């Protein structure tokens, strides 16, 4: 049983515009295995995905997967599907737990909605159609290990649709399919849902690189990445404490399945001199390890006062370790420089990395986390920062906390301090 596009679109009362029709036409080709759609905001991606899923639901014995970076994103597509199916008065069966599922008893086809937060749920399963929403947000490991194999055994179709996020695996997938005519690239202004006024307003308010990515759907090098110039700040910085030295430890405490990370920075040279990352479930062992490192460098510990942090911070203070709280608030208080927001914390680290105001060791884990850390824009237009799905940001947060109290330094002063450390008996004269 295959329902015609004309009848289905009439039944759900949806009229796709020209660019959406092009994608549907390419999807309908028997030889099409993959479609990659790079589209700007408000292109109507959720409606397009919902339609393709419903189309397959009314075909015989098809297993369909809607996959996104979170259940919130998956839920938007499922909600649109249910809204349209409701207009058809069909006798479909629905479940909401443990994941959204829609079953068509007439065709024997099923739609499942899952999240890349828990990719193990699709491991070993086969689908005739996989639709990956905001694919560029997914980590390459999720794509290679979990997504790609799901359609291989049954020669199914996979649709990757997303606003670009730099030149990551989604960009490579787009290039791979472009030669066969199975890659598409549409800006927001090409959508019937996006007005010229909204386009001009976004163009005025956003940096050019961000506007090019979010609304022109251009693959910009590193646009989604928060930190630039990481390779320029790598140095052989790890070293033992020096007499009279001043040190700051950024402490990011482990949550469930995360790591506790300690990053100690020399307050004089702004070099990371000590770094440690570990997973220890028992608090006494964590506290002992943190205390030992803090005492060794006589370091001021900067830690976030969340629910986990309060327990550890109180115990460290009881052991005479110097601790400064980082308290996340909506705005910076004039009365307390210790308060800040995650956005301010990350922005300061971003600026200091770009200005080479801090140096890090050749540490693959730390470098990879910094390189992967990215931003996204919420539906309300706000920026949020996070690691890609499936990755950690413990190292980033630890470095950011250590960097929070560091003052800006000119390159000359920084180089002078480093030269004095290397050649303590040599005098330098500057002109």
DSSP state of 95: E
CA distances (Å), origin 76, targets 50, 67, 153, 397: 9, 11, 29, 30
Question: Could you give the CA distance from residue 247 to residue 300 in angstroms, rounded to a whole number?
Answer: 6
The residue ranges of every structural domain in the chain are 5-214, 230-420
Question: Could you give the CA distance from residue 15 to residue 382 in angstroms, rounded to a whole number?
Answer: 31
Instruction: Give pLDDT, residue 321.
Output: 95
Assigned fold of 230-420: Nucleotidyltransferase; domain 5 (3.30.420)
Model confidence pLDDT, tens digit, residues 238-287 = 999 999 999 999 999 887 667 899 999 999 999 999 999 998 768 888 89
H-run or E-run covering 112: strand 109-115
Dihedral in degrees, nearest 10, Cα atoms 325, 328, 330, 331: 40
- Domain 5-214 maps to which CATH number in 3.40.50.300, 3.90.226.10, 3.40.228.10, 1.10.10.60? 3.40.50.300
Weakest mean pLDDT among 296-300, 334-338, 402-406: 334-338
pTM of the model: 0.58
Per-position DSSP letters for 12-78, written without gaps between them: HT----HHHHHHHHHHH-TT--EEEEEE-TTS-HHHHHHHHHHHHHTSTT-EEEEEESSHHHHHHHH
Instruction: Give pLDDT, residue 374.
Output: 78
Question: Could you give the CA distance from residue 274 to residue 297 in angstroms, rounded to a whole number?
Answer: 9
Model confidence pLDDT, tens digit, residues 156-184 = 999 999 999 878 889 899 999 987 889 99
pLDDT band at 88 (very low <50, low <70, confident <90, very high): confident
Weakest mean pLDDT among 29-38, 58-67, 114-123, 386-395: 386-395
Per-position DSSP letters for 256-318, written without gaps between them: TT--EEEEEEETTT-BEEEEEEE----HHHHHHHHHHHHHHHTPEEEEE-SHHHHHHHHHHHH
């Amino acid at each position: 049983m295959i329902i015609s596009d004309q009848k289905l679109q009439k039944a759900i009362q949806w009229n796709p515009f020209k660019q959406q029709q092009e994608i549907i036409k390419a999807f309908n080709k028997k030889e099409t295995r993959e479609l990659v759609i790079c589209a700007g905001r408000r292109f109507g991606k959720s409606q397009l995905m919902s339609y393709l899923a419903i189309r397959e639901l009314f075909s015989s014995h098809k297993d369909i997967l809607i996959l996104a970076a979170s259940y919130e994103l998956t839920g938007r597509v499922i909600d649109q599907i249910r809204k349209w199916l409701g207009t058809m008065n069909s006798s479909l069966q629905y479940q909401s737990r443990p994941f959204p599922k829609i079953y068509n008893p007439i065709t024997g086809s099923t739609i499942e909605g899952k999240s890349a937060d828990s990719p193990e749920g699709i491991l070993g399963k086969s689908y005739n159609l996989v639709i990956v929403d905001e694919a560029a947000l997914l980590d390459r490991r999720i794509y290679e290990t979990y997504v790609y194999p799901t359609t291989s055994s049954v020669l199914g179709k996979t649709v990757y649709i997303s606003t670009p996020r730099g030149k990551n695996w989604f960009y490579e997938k787009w290039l791979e399919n472009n030669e066969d005519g199975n890659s598409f690239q549409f800006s927001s202004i090409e959508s019937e849902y996006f007005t010229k006024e909204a386009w001009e307003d976004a163009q005025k308010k956003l940096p050019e690189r961000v506007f090019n990515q979010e609304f022109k759907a251009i693959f910009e090098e590193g646009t989604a990445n928060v930190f630039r110039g990481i390779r320029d700040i790598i140095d052989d910085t790890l070293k033992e404490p020096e007499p009279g030295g001043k040190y700051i430890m950024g402490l990011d405490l482990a949550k469930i399945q995360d790591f506790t990370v300690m990053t100690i920075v020399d307050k004089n040279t702004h070099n990371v001199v000590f770094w440690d990352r570990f997973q220890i479930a028992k608090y006494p062992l964590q506290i002992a390890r943190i205390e030992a490192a803090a005492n060794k460098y006589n370091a001021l510990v900067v830690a976030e006062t969340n629910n986990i942090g309060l327990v550890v911070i109180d115990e460290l203070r009881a052991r005479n370790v110097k601790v400064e709280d980082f308290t996340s608030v909506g705005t910076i208080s004039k009365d307390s420089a210790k308060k800040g927001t995650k956005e301010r914390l990350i922005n300061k680290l971003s600026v200091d990395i770009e200005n080479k105001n801090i140096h890090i060791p050749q540490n693959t884990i730390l470098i990879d986390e910094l390189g992967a850390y990215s931003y996204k824009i919420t539906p309300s237009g706000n920026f949020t920062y996070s690691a890609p799905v499936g990755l950690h940001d413990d190292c980033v947060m630890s470095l950011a906390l250590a960097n929070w109290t560091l003052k800006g330094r000119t390159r000359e002063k920084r180089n002078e301090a480093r030269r004095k450390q290397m050649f303590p008996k040599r005098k330098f004269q500057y002109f």
